[in-house]
Amino acid sequence: MSIASSAPTGAADRAFTILVYDPGMPVSVNVQTVHPRKLAAVRREVAPGAVGSAWGPALGKVWEFIRSQPGLWTDGHNIFLYHHPKQPGAPILCDFGVEVTRTFETAGEVHATETPGGEVAVTVHRGPYNRMSEAHNAIAQWMAANRRESAGHSWEIYGDPTPDPADTETTVVYLLSGPS
């Protein structure tokens, strides 16, 4: 894997491009300031590597709830919010959610929450979900190269589905700790 900075001189902590083995497309990591996004979500404690089997039933409950609440959803995306454990390998708390227009009272397992606001490292994954680790790894490499740390939260914003998984886009976001 080769690594190349795409930032102008003096702005090395603002953008970073990582070339992945396949398909050879660069993964660009950028720093942004974001505002919180309101979510309707179901929380699950998930073992490392088990998100793929946990999200479907949880998100099904969220969508069932949203359909019963006129005006709660207009065009928001599915967003999975991860609360990183302090110990590597420990289960992770996941809020499997959908972006909504307002807060609401908890109903069963569906609760109102939001993504954090602040300075974040962001990349866009293009391709099938089983390769999203490339985007997470790119951000981890960017943080190491720029001496930045995660503030313990990350999230994935799922784009609209496409017929070809190679065209699917998912935005991966990590909240950064401390000043740049």
Q: Which residues pair with 125 in a beta bridge?
A: 170
CA angle 73, 75, 79 (to 5 degrees): 85
**CA dist., res. 127 & res. 60, Å (int):** 23
The rounded mean pLDDT for the chain is 87
- Residue 80: pLDDT over 50: yes
pLDDT band at residue 162 using 50, 70 and 90 as cut-offs? confident
Mean pLDDT of the region 139-162: 94
pLDDT band at residue 26 using 50, 70 and 90 as cut-offs? low
Mean pLDDT of the region 75-94: 94
Using CB atoms within 10 Å of the CB of residue 177, give its burial: 0 to 12 exposed, 13 to 18 middle, 19+ buried: middle
The residue type found at 37 is R
Q: Which residues pair with 112 in a beta bridge?
A: 40
pLDDT band at residue 180 using 50, 70 and 90 as cut-offs? low
Instruction: List the single range of 32-41, 90-99, 103-112, 128-137 with lowest mean pLDDT.
Output: 128-137
- Residue 18: pLDDT over 50: no
The residue type found at 165 is P
Looking at residue 30, its pLDDT comes to 95
**CA dist., res. 49 & res. 53, Å (int):** 9
pLDDT band at residue 6 using 50, 70 and 90 as cut-offs? very low
More confident: 166 or 96: 96
DSSP 8-state secondary structure symbol assigned to residue 173: E
Percent of the chain past pLDDT 90, that is, above it, reads 72
